[in-house]
A = this chain, B = another copy of it.
């Protein structure tokens, strides 16, 4: 059901010809109201794609009527012409929808440094608008795929209101947001400042802790649109939890479909003095190429966990560190613990617990193993 699970939204997904292979590559999501409140979170990369620069401006008003999303090109590092193209895309959507261009957010994903084929994209916006439907959510989710092998959607329904969403993302998953485009919708009746608070709280502990390959994108965008169509205003805590659940679910789907991955690795840091320490240590472990290779080889190489912890500024004493892999405490007090041969690593999910023995704060970072398939996917062609 995706973005059309919530009432007050229509969507479409079509093949506009942006991708050479003829696959769907253009999605349109429209908020039919009555409310058009919105919030957004964007990549923290300082090199931002044109659609990010544009959409950041759109979100300043806290009002979004529609989102145009394309795969097949990131429109990043494309200079003034790239920004003009994003602007023209918003203008075209505004024109066919009868709204103002400043209420149209734009998202792009694909190769950096290439201009979009506007002669295909602009007619595509018209085609998509003609196909808008209350059942179009799944088609929209399919049209934003790049190297994704499956489309990703999630829905949480509460008492009279719903939060739905779609996501794409496969490589370049990283900090300050995993690389991706995400559109979340709700029919709850909420102001944009409430949406903003709930969205930032949710992304901080979900997408922002999905770190597949440590690379940060130029195009990451997460939007949350509210139609107010359900005529229900939920309590903040309940709404924020629903948004968190949808983000968490979509984040898990991103990890499970990460490029070339054969293992999903949950890095849980416990016993940290601060949450920041826990996140820093978790990221350091999650980005250690040597460890990620070892996990791929089903080798519970805890020494690589310790060497990753040792590069951080977190509070810990080396001789008090403990590490468990799939429930076996292979490292105790910084040295050899239980027999590593007891660790069963045959399954896709691998659970690493790093205990800093320095406090009671925790954080969980999700990552993948590093595989020959990842190398192949990212070296055999430009993406």
**Which residues of A line the B interface, CB within 8 A?**
45-48, 74, 76-79, 81-82, 111-115, 171-172, 176, 213-218, 287-290, 293-297, 299, 301-304, 306-312, 316, 318-319, 321, 331, 333-336, 370-372, 374-382
Given A47-B334, A172-B290, A307:B215 Cβ within 8 A? yes
**Contact call B77/A215, Cβ cutoff below 8 A:** no
**Contact call B302/A113, Cβ cutoff below 8 A:** yes
**Contact call A307/B78, Cβ cutoff below 8 A:** no
Q: Kindly report which residue of chain B lies nearest to residue A82, judged by CB atoms.
A: B335
Q: Kindly report which residue of chain B lies nearest to residue A213, judged by CB atoms.
A: B289
A216: B residues at CB distance < 8 A:
307, 310-311
**Contact call B335/A79, Cβ cutoff below 8 A:** yes
Given A215-B289, A218-B307, A310-B218, A113:B335 Cβ within 8 A? yes
A74: B residues at CB distance < 8 A:
303
Q: Kindly report which residue of chain B lies nearest to residue A298, judged by CB atoms.
A: B379
A375: B residues at CB distance < 8 A:
293, 296, 370-372, 374-375
**Contact call B334/A79, Cβ cutoff below 8 A:** yes
How many monomers of this protein are in the complex? 2
Q: Tell me, rounded to whole Å, the shortest Cβ–Cβ distance linking A325 to chain B.
A: 12
Given A307-B216, A311-B216, A379-B296, A318:B46 Cβ within 8 A? yes
**Contact call B77/A113, Cβ cutoff below 8 A:** no
From A46, A76, A112, A296, name the one whose CB has the most chain B CB atoms within 10 angstroms.
A46
**Contact call A287/B334, Cβ cutoff below 8 A:** no
A270 to B239, CA, bound (A): 49
Q: Kindly report which residue of chain B lies nearest to residue A336, judged by CB atoms.
A: B113
**Contact call A306/B379, Cβ cutoff below 8 A:** no
A308: B residues at CB distance < 8 A:
215
**Contact call B47/A318, Cβ cutoff below 8 A:** yes
**Contact call A112/B378, Cβ cutoff below 8 A:** no
Q: Which of B82, B115, B287, B294 contacts A378 (CB 8 A)?
A: B294
**Contact call A215/B288, Cβ cutoff below 8 A:** yes
A–B pairs, 23, beta carbons within 8 Å: A48-B310, A74-B303, A76-B307, A79-B335, A82-B335, A112-B303, A112-B304, A113-B306, A113-B335, A171-B290, A216-B307, A216-B310, A289-B289, A293-B374, A293-B379, A294-B379, A295-B379, A296-B379, A299-B381, A301-B382, A372-B376, A374-B375, A375-B375
A172 to B294, CA, bound (A): 13
From A47, A216, A374, name the one whose CB has the most chain B CB atoms within 10 angstroms.
A47
Given A318-B48, A331-B113, A306:B382 Cβ within 8 A? no
Q: Kindly report which residue of chain B lies nearest to residue A218, judged by CB atoms.
A: B307
